[in-house]
Structure 1
């Protein structure tokens, strides 16, 4: 496959694009920086939805300048990585969190590393990175979670052998969230429920306003540039609480995602003032998603909603993330609070030794694009401290 627009100056000169075959059944497209010097410690960056390896382009040269070999793959289901089935009716097992952990492990080993020095997961890449650290702390030895807190693995019922109710997760008798949202006035729907539907891929692949306008509005409304983003913690995962979030999270029932974000298309002046996603950079996303559609990216949402596919995660019931870890969000990003209580569960139970929770001022959801310098500062300070705990060997 040709490099298309990656060859016309939309990548920093320090960053190259290549494909590595045989990675857990995939041919993985990745971007990398700092590759010229052998023996550097590995920083592995896992993107989320609807992003690409390309989303890390501003951050990668900074980390490479600091001495890392920086690698950002197009994750399974995205971009120029191939070997996955692009079909709603395809088996979802390959998109399970643990299989995506195997993707990360296989890539690390294929690159000639026994461990990463820095593992970063953003958005849907955050749970993938979290399970990397749960399953293989010997390989993934420090962890940065971004924008999506990790509340822990699903738990198994405890102390039930005597026939008592035991200690289980609460609120199993509450009405289903989808029904409760639909009962609001006006009726609403949670975005993750919508993204699991059969029509979501077609809606976003063929938006009435065109792919460029759709993606520009989507990236704008979730960024710190949109003045309406003023997130705050929600008290519970109830319809009334979730309805406080913007329309790109809690949509009007029956609306598509392109319809939901269309009113937030920035003005020409706002677009021209955008210094983190130029027209040429946006065109990379337009080209890639016009070519592939969104189904591969949406499969992970369907996995997360499938109890059978998540049952294997109970293997880690009660296990905590014990490698050095930090959470970084944007103070204008609703992602930190979209799962009510997840942030508290992460710090109190799932990642009890977490070093810090940092919210970058004026950053929205796309932190690595909006605020790469500040993000790099936090990462480098964190990893410098973390490396004191496990030495400085790179391989």
Structure 2
């Protein structure tokens, strides 16, 4: 049986361990602070791990919180999930991911959480936690991925345009393109990254680099519509070249040795934690989350909650150089105007791209603590 992440890989004050019996999972968690103090839950995204919170956990714990970051279902050292492409997707649907988080709260003996914080694909999980159980999740911080709300009931509405329409239009552009989420939903995507010609370590180095503020071409701007012409303005790691894998897409942007040596937010030793884990597990666990979204298979059960809003205090934190904030046209405004009724603030942090809590941990810690204090 696999051991917890070695303490030598973690900053002082962070400890690793397992919590069994969490909705069928043996969940690997990182902790900081004193059990029994107000609980903060930190939910990572793709392709990350609980380890992505290592730089903010000590500051939050020092402020008096019990800080817990799990490897979510499909990731890292958490076990009890099926990595087969043909496995049942239902365990990876959003309502079951919320059930995972509720189980973790119960395992720590808590009745409520001071705040649930989600980054990237962890952001919608945190949002649904706050929307469905505001009695448990008293505040919510969404990072890098705006939450646009619950899908509406289709009754009395015009039929939704088939997703294939925009994808066919992308493929027909003079520079043929494809959307990364639908690529991530294909059978070859896992092998493309897990068996990347450059190796998992160099693939992740290029992928993290190109989505960070270190990549000078990240100059995001709002898109006007969900159309092929507008989506094609996104960088290649979001709207890919039609004939490329993700490993091939990011390979030309692999930073040189000097740039790698100068990367303070993700030095080689820290990157090896990620590459070591993904070399062992592959990427399919996280890709199952994308498949739940792109197939639309579980939309109907989400529509049961149509009209519900997030009514606990909320904050959004992103990187000023993060295209992800704008990849869904109008998402940021819908979050502020409709999805969250108590949106305290939207912070776009300079010097950060998509990996905001790793690139600018001091600023993120300060914004979170400001939000918690208010």
| Whole-angstrom distance in 1 between the partners of 2:365 and 2:142 | 13
Equivalent residue for 1:185, pick from 164, 174, 186:
174
User: Is contact 1:3-1:17 (8 Å) kept?
Assistant: no
Q: Does 1:49 pair with 2:46?
A: yes
Q: Within 2, Cα distance between the matches of 1:333 and 1:183?
A: 27
The whole-number CA distance in structure 1 between the counterparts of 2:162 and 2:354 is 33
* Cα distance in 2 between the residues matched to 1:112 and 1:5: 24
Task: Determine the structure 2 residue equivalent to 1:6.
Answer: 6
Query: 1:77, 1:297 within 8 Å by CA — same for their partners in 2?
Result: yes
The structural deviation recorded for 1:337 is 0.4
SS of alignment partner, residue 337 of structure 2: helix
RMSD: 1.4
CA contact (8 A) 1:325 1:354 kept: yes
- Tell me whether 1:251 sits opposite 2:240 in the alignment: yes
Provide the residue aligned with 1:126 in structure 2.
123
Provide the C-alpha distance between the structure 2 equivalents of 1:309 and 1:336, rounded to a whole number of angstroms.
Answer: 24
In structure 2, the residue matched to 1:291 is 280
Unaligned runs of 5+ in 2: none
Structure 1 partner of 2:90 = 93
Give the length in aligned residue pairs.
374
The TM-score, its normalising length taken from structure 2, stands at: 0.97
* Contact persistence 2:2–2:77 (CA under 8 A): no
Is 1:72 aligned with 2:61? no
Cα distance in 1, alignment partners of residues 13 and 158 from structure 2: 48
The superposition leaves residues 62-93 of structure 1 with CA deviations (integer Å, 9 ceiling, x where unpaired) of: 10111110000000000000000010000000
Other structure's SS at 1:102 match: helix
CA distance in structure 2 between the partners assigned to 1:95 and 1:233 by the alignment:
30
Largest Rg, 1 or 2: 1
Kindly indicate whether the alpha-carbon contact (under 8 Å) linking 2:32 and 2:67 is maintained by their aligned counterparts in 1. Answer: yes
Cα distance in 2 for partners of 1:380, 1:170 equals 44
Partner in structure 2 of residue 319 of structure 1: 308
Once residues 78 and 173 of structure 1 are traced to their aligned partners in structure 2, the CA distance between those partners, rounded to angstroms, is 31
Q: Secondary structure at the match of 2:297?
A: helix
Matches within 5 A, 1:1-395: 1-3=1-3, 6-7=6-7, 9-34=8-33, 37-157=34-154, 160=156, 168=157, 172=161, 176-385=165-374
Distance in 2, Cα, partners of 1:358 & 1:275: 22
Answer yes or no: is the 8 Å Cα contact 1:182–1:189 preserved in 2.
yes
Assess if the C-alpha contact under 8 Å between 1:188 and 1:251 holds in 2. yes
SS of the residue aligned with 1:329? strand
Separation of aligned partners in 1, 2:142 and 2:276: 28
Q: Distance in 2 between matches of 1:70 and 1:4?
A: 17
- Separation in structure 2 between the aligned mates of residue 107 and residue 236 of structure 1, nearest angstrom: 39
Give the Å deviation of 1:38: 3.9
Distance 1:85 1:174, change over 3 A: closer
